[in-house]
Amino acid sequence: MNSDADAMGAAPNLVPVADHALLVEFGDEIDDHTLARIQSLDAALAATPPEGLVEVVPALTHLLVVFDPSTTDHRAIGAAVADRIEHRTDTAPGAHHVVDICFDAPHAPDLATAAERLGIDPDEVAQHHLAATYRVGMYGFAPGYAYLYGTPPAIQLPRNPTPGPPVPAGSVIITGQQCLVIPVAMSTGWFAIGRSPVQVLRNDPARPFLFDVGDTVSFRRISADELDARLPAEGR
């Protein structure tokens, strides 16, 4: 058991949201330190929920605590949050996943564009991506949409202002320091630099998603032939 002030930095900022929620802000940095604080508070609230707690929604740099305003209020929830932070416990380390990726055409429609904007060769983009270890920071936007962070600075690009053409499920997309393996076909403003045969959405009610928040992910290069052989026929 550790003191938040001793081991985890400054106390978070507590921001009331309407009459039924409290936003717990841990700063602006998306990193392992911030994620550990969010995971710890999430686990503590789940283990000993304060009266009136409805839902806890963790994100990359903050956590939203939703409560029933007929049974509690911002002050009581804030005190409960402060208590859980003061007496936090460390969370167990996540699992590591190796995700296969193909950088060959036509499975990497934005790789050349990304390389041109970065001023490097497309294979350099691939090598930087393969050298990185990513961490699962949160789920959001759509089922199975796992936000990874850890894209190397050398290949970080701002999001495009308008979405491009749809890319298929399994596309590996990047923007800023974030990376996703998209679970369903969609249009995004991110850069699709490759495609994976790995399915993030699983047909398993007990474990619907491949990754858990806090897990780490690295990528391994495969050929277009291997990718095509492992993709379902309807997804090629």
pLDDT category, 201, cuts 50, 70, 90? confident
Q: Are strands 134-139 and 96-101 parallel, antiparallel or unpaired?
A: unpaired
Separation CA 144–CA 132 (nearest Å)? 22
pLDDT beyond 80 at 15: yes
DSSP letters along 87-105, please? TB-PPPPPPEEEEEEB-ST
Architecture per CATH, domain 4-86, reads as: 2-Layer Sandwich (3.30)
Note if the bond before 143 is cis, omega within 30 degrees: no
Beta bridge partners of 13: 25
pLDDT beyond 60 at 115: yes
pLDDT beyond 60 at 6: no
Residues 6+ apart with CB under 8 A from 82: 11
Q: Assess contact for 220 and 127: CB atoms under 8 A.
A: no
Residues 6+ apart with CB under 8 A from 57: 63, 64, 66
Model-level pTM greater than 0.95?
A: no
Q: Are strands 134-139 and 178-181 parallel, antiparallel or unpaired?
A: unpaired
Residues 6+ apart with CB under 8 A from 44: 84, 85, 87, 88, 89
Q: Are strands 178-181 and 146-149 parallel, antiparallel or unpaired?
A: antiparallel
Separation CA 190–CA 109 (nearest Å)? 11
Separation CA 153–CA 192 (nearest Å)? 17
**pLDDT tens per residue, range 41-78:** 999 999 999 999 999 999 999 999 999 999 999 999 99
Domain 96-235 - what CATH class? mainly beta
**pLDDT tens per residue, range 148-168:** 999 999 999 999 999 989 999
Q: Give percent above pLDDT 70 in the chain.
A: 94
pLDDT category, 236, cuts 50, 70, 90? low
Q: Is 38 exposed, middle or buried (0-12, 13-18, 19+ CB in 10 A)?
A: buried
Q: What residue segments make up the domains of the chain, in order of their start?
A: 4-86, 96-235
Q: Is 21 helix (H, G, I), strand (E, B) or coil?
A: strand
pLDDT at 1: 36
Residues 6+ apart with CB under 8 A from 148: 134, 135, 136, 137, 178, 179, 180, 181, 217
**pLDDT tens per residue, range 76-91:** 999 999 999 887 767 7
Residue matched to tokens 């974030």: 178
Pair of tokens at residue 50:
């304060």
- Averaged confidence pLDDT in the chain: 91
pLDDT beyond 90 at 11: no
- Please give the C-alpha separations between residue 135 and each of 92, 145, 154, in angstroms, as whole numbers: 14, 14, 18
Separation CA 58–CA 139 (nearest Å)? 9
pLDDT beyond 90 at 235: no
